Amino acid sequence: MTVAPQILRLSLTDFRSWTSATLQASRRLVVLTGPNGAGKTNILEAISFLGPGRGLRRATLDAVAREDGPGTWAVAAEVEGAQGLATLGTGLATPAGADGPHARKCRIDREPVGAATAFAEHLRLVWLVPTMDGLFLGPASERRRFLDRLVLAVHPDHATRVSALERSLRARNRLLENPSPDPHWLDAAEHETAELAVAVAAARAETVQRLAATLLERGAGPFPSAGLILDGWMEQAALTRPAIEVEDRYRTVLRENRGRDAAAGRTLDGPHLTDLLVTFAPKGIAARDLIAVTDIAGRRVEIARPVKRIVLGEGRQLITLSLVHPDPVSLLAGWPGDLARQDKVTYGRYLEKFPAIAGVPIVGRGSEETFSIEQALATGPDLAILSGGYGPSLRSKETLDRFAAAGVPVVFVDLIAKPLDNIVPSLRLLGRVLGREDAAERVVQFHESRAGRIRDRLAAATPVAPTVLMHAHAGLAECCNAPGRATIGAFIDPAGGTNIAVDVLKTPFGPISLEYVMGRDPDVYVGTGGQHLAGTGGLVLGPGVDAAESRAKLQGIVRSPGLADIAAVRSGRVHGLWHLFGNFPLNVLALEALAKWFHPKLFGDVDPDASLKIANETLLAVPMHGTYWVSLDGGGR
């Protein structure tokens, strides 16, 4: 039987709260006791640095140096293990004869070694800390990180391979950023990626197989017995097929999906996406099945997964679901009929792809007053997703009480009150609820990379913000209905503009007089519209709409008395925007269009059309084809 290594002596210097400390251990099981703030966790963290990585708190190397200390630190341990006695040491040191930054040093028996991975010959570490309580409820990336540390106990060089695989994937992604990448370079990159990927997958698969066998041998005990499995095709193949065969299969996958991966900006297949699944073995219940989430309203909600029957409070939430689930209609127990009424083209496209949508029970018409709690409960839901924008809200006490009494959990999302603030937490909430965290994170990355670019450039350049008239439902009535800071009006400030309506409106939407508009003489005009304005003379935008039709409608609207005389129209800064972006998960497309209109030089390289193309190819279950933004000068489509 292999004897586990033992730390006989531990020394700390200038580490966290410790100026210096030495601990002797005479037993294999050691318990640290003391009041809060005594430095117990700091000692455990010091031990965790006797392995690769950033320790159990995932701190940077300089962050663990003692405050008011020299900026350096050291941890040393005398270890007795299979290799006999050894002294391991690591720390942050000042380079000899240099004024440069501190660097981490590692030594075994006072002799330098290249990295902390070398310590694994003498000491291999695994830890469980309170922050890991949600390990099997959170994103797959956290479980992969935990698994890779377990693998180190079997394969000391595993961390090196994981790092090399990450570098290789990044190199491939950079090559794919080129519109016409050199196929020979890609072949070479994918050859290396496949070798590393299969090595990583095989090491994980072997470790999990050994752990699963050990758990099975031990059988029943005081703790619940667990089952382990890796949710990745490569790991399964690595257990039964020759490595070279699996490598060739992965190279084929990479080569055939270059276009898809280029559009997504990342490699969408491989062991970097594998998940570790844990079950309560006697009943086959997944460890992640009961989760606790905090919704957008700040309510803590417990949900049993997998969620299979969802009632929606608003029909347009289906589009948000489609971003995180490949078949959102399969999850619907009931929904309102507002999508079919407000956006017939989009509904028709979903009906074409998901014919089962026609049979989903209707539980309302998209408003709080028409939502039927009796019909909703009759569908047998296991979750209700509400928004408060259209349909039941936090004020709907009877509805919420009835759901609670029936044991149906309710979560609130928000894409309308604070659309830019709440889109990311709403997406992550849905990803967590549906067990589709990775899919949700892809949409978050799409949003954050684009919104962040606009935010950072505006902060750096501090351009003068143009005054903006956002004319809501343009052409439907006399000028002008306008949004305030909510819904679609919430995009104006983050795009670098000044909404002239907020100085006079006290509500999310409301009328402002033509005289007020002419007095403010805005620099930019943005009319909003949609298919709901077809046949009214208003601005028509959205799915299935031709850009020439939208441009002609927009031209007629701004020729009306009063509007024709404002600065925006005189200078040609006249644009149209799909009104439903104010309650839409890919609202960053509207942000890009507005930023480009408000500051054309600063955002000359921003291309919402290109972003829409990427979304259609990589994110949306049903692509958006039509006209969602338009300009009189032809610069917007």
Tokens representing 213 are: 């066998």
38 is in an annotated binding site: yes
Inform me whether the pLDDT recorded for 105 exceeds 60.
yes
499 is in an annotated binding site: no
Q: Distance of alpha carbon 430 from its chain centroid, rounded?
A: 10
The count of other CB atoms within 10 Å of the CB of residue 133 is 10
How do residues 188-200 score in pLDDT, each as one tens digit? Answer: 999 999 999 999 9
Question: What share of the chain in percent tops pLDDT 70?
Answer: 94
Between CA 441 and CA 428 the distance in angstroms is 7
For the chain, give the mean pLDDT: 90
Phi, psi of 515 (to 5 degrees): -65, -40
What average pLDDT does this structure show over 442-458? 95
pLDDT at residue 596 in the model: 97
Inform me whether the pLDDT recorded for 143 exceeds 50.
yes
The count of other CB atoms within 10 Å of the CB of residue 140 is 21
Residue whose token pair is 């009759």: 378
> In 3D, which of 345, 378, 419 has the Cα closest to residue 585?
419
From first CA to last CA, the distance across the chain in angstroms is: 71
Sequence-ordered alpha helix ranges (H) in 219-284: 233-240, 243-256, 258-264
34 is in an annotated binding site: yes
* Domains delineated in the chain: 6-121 (3.40.50.300), 134-286 (1.20.1050.90), 304-435 (3.40.50.1980), 448-631 (3.40.50.1980)
Between CA 35 and CA 539 the distance in angstroms is 68
490 is in an annotated binding site: no
35 is in an annotated binding site: yes
Beta-bridged to residue 279, according to DSSP, are 227, 286
41 is in an annotated binding site: yes
pLDDT at residue 95 in the model: 67
In 281-432, beta strands by DSSP E: 285-286, 290-294, 300-304, 310-312, 332-334, 383-386, 410-412
Contact 290, 399 (CB under 8 A): no
Contact 563, 512 (CB under 8 A): no
The CA-atom distances, in angstroms, between 337 and each of 248, 323, 355, 357 are: 49, 20, 15, 11
pLDDT at residue 550 in the model: 95
Inform me whether the pLDDT recorded for 38 exceeds 70.
yes
Inform me whether the pLDDT recorded for 97 exceeds 60.
no
How do residues 553-596 score in pLDDT, each as one tens digit? Answer: 999 999 998 899 999 999 999 999 999 998 889 999 999 999 99
Between CA 541 and CA 546 the distance in angstroms is 8
What average pLDDT does this structure show over 116-124? 88
Between CA 594 and CA 588 the distance in angstroms is 10
214 is in an annotated binding site: no
pLDDT at residue 91 in the model: 95
Binning pLDDT at 50, 70 and 90, where does residue 365 land?
confident
Inform me whether the pLDDT recorded for 66 exceeds 90.
yes
What pTM, to 2 d.p., does this model score? 0.60
Contact 509, 518 (CB under 8 A): no
Inform me whether the pLDDT recorded for 101 exceeds 80.
no
Between CA 46 and CA 621 the distance in angstroms is 48
Residue whose token pair is 């309560």: 280
Inform me whether the pLDDT recorded for 1 exceeds 60.
no
Between CA 49 and CA 92 the distance in angstroms is 11
